[in-house]
Amino acid sequence: MPTYIGFNTINQFGKFTLLDFELIKRDLSNAFNIQQGELPGRPDYGTVIWSFIFENQTPETEQAIRNEIQRVAGGDPRIVVNSINFYPQQNGILLEVELQLAATQTAEILAIFFDQETRRASFI
């Protein structure tokens, strides 16, 4: 039985219902593709990760990105971040984030690519 039920109309044809991790992935995708402060009435929603993509990839920058992932994901009470792995790429940043549904043992590793050319975060 699903724990979370929601809907999505982006790239959906016919079936709009999303369950559990699919719903959480859609919500995280929205948060990662919105610059923090862009959403009217919700100044803390979104992310500042895009400002780190063009920085030198130092340990401090990597830690700032990890902190930002924790902050964005921490805003969703349905999930807990278990681990974050960081992989600088030639045209962006690849992050592997292990998420666990709160109050369950269900976990999933998500690979999120922040593409500096398209300025989009997408799951791969």
Strand locations in the chain, DSSP E? 5-7, 17-19, 79-89, 92-101, 107-115, 120-123
- Predicted local confidence at residue 82, as pLDDT: 95
Q: Mean pLDDT throughout 51-63?
A: 88
- Predicted local confidence at residue 25, as pLDDT: 86
- Give CA–CA dist 115/37, Å, rounded: 20
- Give CA–CA dist 6/22, Å, rounded: 9
Q: Mean pLDDT throughout 4-25?
A: 66
- Predicted local confidence at residue 70, as pLDDT: 94
- Predicted local confidence at residue 7, as pLDDT: 56
| Residue 115, Ramachandran bin (φ over 0: left; ψ between -120 and 50: alpha; else beta) | beta
As given in the structure block, the two tokens for residue 27 are: 């919500």
Q: Mean pLDDT throughout 15-33?
A: 80
Q: Give the CATH number of domain 27-123.
A: 3.10.450.40
pLDDT by residue (tens digit) across 61-80?
999 999 999 999 988 898 99
Domain-wise residue ranges, the chain: 27-123
- Predicted local confidence at residue 19, as pLDDT: 64
- Give CA–CA dist 93/52, Å, rounded: 10
Specify the amino acid at residue 114: F
